[in-house]
Amino acid sequence: MGPHREDLALAVACDTVAAARSATGVAVVFAVTDDARAGGALAALGAVVVGGEPGTGLNPALAHGAAVARARRPDLGVCALSADLPALRPEELDRVLAAAGAHGRSFLPDAPGVGTTLFAASVGHPFTPAFEGASRARHLSVGARELDVPGTASVRRDVDTPQDLRAAVELGVGPRTRELWDRLGPRSRFEEGCCAEGVR
Q: What is the pLDDT of residue 198?
A: 45
Q: What is the pLDDT of residue 2?
A: 59
The domains found in the chain, sorted by start residue, are: 4-179 (3.90.550.10)
Q: What is the pLDDT of residue 196?
A: 53
Q: What is the pLDDT of residue 193?
A: 52
Q: What is the pLDDT of residue 195?
A: 58
- Distance (Å, rounded) from C-alpha 127 to C-alpha 8? 30
List all residues 6 or more positions away from 65 whose beta carbon is below 8 Å from its beta carbon: 30, 31, 32, 50, 80, 200
pTM tops 0.95: no
Q: pLDDT 10s digit of each residue in the chain, 200 long?
A: 355 889 999 999 999 999 999 999 999 999 999 999 999 999 999 999 999 888 889 999 999 999 999 999 999 999 999 999 999 999 999 999 999 999 999 999 999 999 999 999 999 999 999 999 999 999 999 999 999 999 999 999 999 998 999 999 999 999 999 999 998 866 555 555 555 544 55
- Distance (Å, rounded) from C-alpha 118 to C-alpha 81? 5
Q: What is the pLDDT of residue 110?
A: 98
- Distance (Å, rounded) from C-alpha 42 to C-alpha 14? 6
Q: Tell me 53's DSSP state.
A: -
Q: Which of 113, 114, 47, 84 is nearest to 193 (CA)?
A: 84
- Distance (Å, rounded) from C-alpha 131 to C-alpha 114? 11
Q: What is the pLDDT of residue 113?
A: 97
Q: Which of 92, 66, 97 is nearest to 80 (CA)?
A: 66
What does the angle CA 131 – CA 135 – CA 138 come to, to the nearest 5 degrees?
110
